[in-house]
Structure 1
Amino acid sequence: MLQHIVLFCIDRFRGERSLAAIDHLLNGKKTAQTLQDSKWYNVSRLFGTVPIDRSRLLHVAHELETNGFIYQTDEHIYDVTSSGKKELRHFVFPPYIDGWKYMNEASLFWKRLSLLIQAMANVIHRTSFEPIHRDERIQSFVKRWLFQHKHIQAIARSLYEEMYELLSQVEEKDANIFVWRLTSHERIGWTNGQIAYALKEEEIAILLSFQNALHFILEMTEQEKEKFPLLYSLREQKRAQLTSSAQKTYKLLKEGYSLEQIVELRGLKKGTIEDHIVEIATYIPSFVTAPFLEEEKRKRIIQQAQKLQTKKLRAIKEVLQDVSYFEIRLALARWDREDV
């Protein structure tokens, strides 16, 4: 499973990004470059879904190269062979996982839900228990939630029905793994490692199955909140897609400050503020890039990217030496939305 995921990423990056980019993507590193790459190369669903250390990633890349699925084009940069392309035909990524969309709330939702189920099970059976999550914010949320819903047995039945309906719509294996992770009054929920050992599967496969069920629940409660009111009530309010630092820069831009003024006000490097502007252009459709990128330059950058069939900054810069890397990144951020 892990080999297929790394192979899939290498294929999507088309020899234009190094293993470090895959490392940052799978570990969910919120840098401007990783956020842009996840969109540019259509790999945002994998964002933060498979925590992996660099040594293991290098080992997987070595195995893929030994098997003839990839070949090295530069230091830590690979592309996929024809055999690798054939191998990818057998790879099916779990359909409901969307790491980018749910990166800010999946973990929080799971902690609230799992602690709530543990609490209700023990209240109903009148047993004492140690909370599975020590975070006081999670505990306070669950206490408030229970206080607002007085009739615990009736609420527990309704919550069970909501979960049963949703879990019955995913693969049985994914549903079982999700349930095995839950803690009741009788048993402590299993870890991914324990489930992997019991099923004799890779821990990565168990992690993805769990995330697939979790993200499906989030997707359906978002689409049909009236049908799943209890589960929906456990969700966090929508957060902005921008990183917190980019949000501060965006606020100043909307107030009319220039790039140079923002550099001075925030005490950050110019390159950092430029990173923020590219991030804003990527995720805020209404953001106007004209103050930072002349229309004539934008068109030439996109035309050159199309001609070279690449989003590799250096390749475009070598041809268009009068444009900056910042301008190239800004143009590519809006490639799919703006006409040439």
Structure 2
Amino acid sequence: MLQHIVLFCIDRFRGERSIAAIDHLLNGKKTAQTLQDSKWYGVSRLFGTVPIERSRLLHVARELEEKAFVYQTGEHIYRITPTGKEEIRHFVLPSYVDGWKHMNESSSFWKRLSLLVQAIANIVHRTSFEPVHRDESTQLFVKRWLFQHKHIPTTARLLYHEMNELLSGVEEKEANIFVWRLTTHARIGWTNEQIAYAIEEEDVTVLLLFQNVLHYMLDMTEKEKEKFPLLYSLRQQKRTQLTSSAEKTWALLKEGYSLEQIAQLRRLKKGTIEDHIVEIATYVPSFVITPFLEENKRTRIIQHARQLQTNKLRMIKEALPDASYFEIRLALARWEREDV
């Protein structure tokens, strides 16, 4: 599975990004560049889904090169071969995995649910326990939740029925993986590595199947809130996909401040504010980019990007010397949104 994921990313990046970019993508690094790459190259579903060390990615890349699936064009930069193309012709991610869509919620939802299951199981069986998650925000949330649902035996039954209903909607293997991760009064939840060893699967496969169930739960509780009220109540309020720093810039833009004024107010470099504006253009449909980029120049940038078949800024810049890198990035950000 991991080889196919790396090969898929190499194919999508078209020799324009290195293994470091794949590392940032799979680990869910929330930088302007990685967030933009996720959309520009059509790999957003993989965002943050396979958090592994770069050394392992480099090892996989070398294995792919030995198999003649890829060839190296620069330091840690690869392109796919026809043989590699054939190898991933039928590659598909598990149906519900969408790291981009759930980047701000999946981790907190899992922590809350798994700690709640552990707490309820131990309360019902009158046993003491060490919480599986130690961060204060998760513990405080679960304590408050339990205080609001005081009749624990009834709550336990209702939560069981909701989870059983949802887990019946996925493959048995995936449901088992999800349940094995849970800690109760009687057993400690298994790690992905323990599950992988038990069912003789790659750890990355187990991780993706687990996330497939988690993301399925998030999708279904959003679509059918009334059917799964307890699970829905564990979800975070909707948050923008902007980074916190870009959100602050967006708030100032809405108040009418210019790019230069925002840089001065926030004591940040102009380039950092430009990064924020590109990020805002990518994720906020209502954001108007014309104050920063004339429409005729935007059109010319997109035309050259199409002709050159690239998102590589330097190549577009060479073809359009009158366009700044900021303008090119801004045009590509909005172009990708229109094409989604």
Moved more, 44-53 or 133-142: 133-142
- Taking the aligned partners of 1:272 and 1:245, their CA distance within structure 2 comes to 10
Tell me whether 1:86 sits opposite 2:86 in the alignment: yes
Deviation at 1:169, TM superposition (A): 1.0
Q: Which amino acid aligns with 1:5?
A: I
Equivalent AA in structure 1 for residue 66 of structure 2? T
Aligned-partner residue type, residue 40 of structure 1: W
Equivalent position SS for 2:310 = coil
Query: What residue is the counterpart of 1:220 in the other structure?
Result: 220
Partner of 1:125: 125
Q: Distance in 2 between matches of 1:6 and 1:50?
A: 10
Partners of 1:333 and 1:222 in 2: CA distance: 28
Gaps in structure 1 of 5+ consecutive residues? none
Q: Residues 337 and 186 (structure 1 numbering): CA distance in 2 closer, same or farther, change over 3 Å?
A: closer
TM-score, normalization: structure 1? 0.97
Kindly provide the amino acid, as one letter, of the partner of residue 119 in structure 1: A
**Alpha-carbon distance between aligned partners in 2 of 1:127 and 1:260, rounded to the nearest angstrom:** 60
- Is residue 73 from structure 1 mapped to residue 85 from structure 2 by the alignment? no
Kept in 1, the 8 Å contact 2:18–2:77? The answer is yes
- Residue type of the alignment partner of 1:327: E
In structure 2, the CA distance between the partners of 1:75 and 1:269, relative to structure 1 (3 Å rule), is: same
Q: TM-score, normalised by structure 2?
A: 0.97
Over residues 124-171 of structure 1, what are the superposed CA-to-partner deviations in whole Å (9 max), with x where a residue is unaligned? 111122221122221221111111112211111111111111111111
Structure-2 separation of matches of 1:158 and 1:240: 31
Q: Does 1:26 align with 2:30?
A: no
How far, CA to CA, are the matches of 1:63 and 1:152 in structure 2?
52
Aligned-pair CA distance for 1:66: 0.9
Task: Report the AA paired with residue 297 of structure 2.
Answer: K
CA distance in 2, matches of 1:251, 1:307: 36
The residue type paired with residue 330 of structure 2 is L
In 2, the alpha carbon distance for the partners of 1:137 and 1:256 equals 35
Paired residue for 2:261?
A: 261
Question: 1:42 Cα shift?
Answer: 1.3
Distance in 2 (CA, whole Å) between partners of 1:198 and 1:167 is: 20
Distance in 2 separating the partners of 1:100 and 1:227: 25
Residues 174-197 of structure 1: CA deviation (Å, up to 9, x unaligned):
110100011111111111111112
Aligned to 1:250: 250
Letter in 1 for 2:261: Q
1:43 aligns with 2:43: yes
For 2:315 and 2:230, the matched residues in 1 are separated by 52
Per-residue deviation, 1:76? 2.1
Structure 2: distance between partners of 1:122 and 1:58: 44
Q: Distance in 2 between matches of 1:62 and 1:70?
A: 9
Provide the aligned C-alpha RMSD in A. 1.2
1:61 matched residue in structure 2: 61
CA distance in 1, matches of 2:94, 2:197: 21
CA contact (8 A) 2:282 2:337 kept: no
Structure 2: gaps (5+ residues): none
Task: Give the corresponding residue for 1:312.
Answer: 312
Deviation at 1:338, TM superposition (A): 5.4
Closer/same/farther in 2, CA of residues 338 and 145 from structure 1, 3 Å limit:
closer
Q: Which residue of 2 aligns with 1:146?
A: 146
Aligned residues: 339
1:73 is paired with a residue whose SS is strand
The corresponding residue for 2:110 is 110
The residue number in structure 1 matching 2:275 is 275
Kept in 1, the 8 Å contact 2:109–2:234? The answer is yes
| Cα shift readout 1:256-279 (whole Å, capped 9, x = no counterpart) | 111111111111111111100000
TM superposition shift of 1:337: 4.9
Task: Tell me the distance in 2 between the aligned counterparts of 1:199 and 1:162.
Answer: 26
Compared CA separation, residues 84 and 44, structure 1 to 2 (3 A): same
Using the alignment, how far apart are the partners of 1:134 and 1:311 within structure 2?
43
Amino acid at match of 2:231: L
Counterpart-to-counterpart distance in 2, 1:137 and 1:336: 36
The residue number in structure 2 matching 1:287 is 287
In 1, Cα distance between the equivalents of 2:276 and 2:39? 15
Identity over aligned pairs, percent: 78
Cα gap change, 1:85 to 1:338, in 2 (>3 Å): closer
| Partner Cα distance (2:138, 2:302) in 1 | 47
The DSSP-based 3-state class of the residue aligned with 1:226 is coil
SS at match of 1:334: helix
The aligned residue for residue 7 of structure 1 is 7
Alpha-carbon distance in 2 for matches of 1:39, 1:230: 33
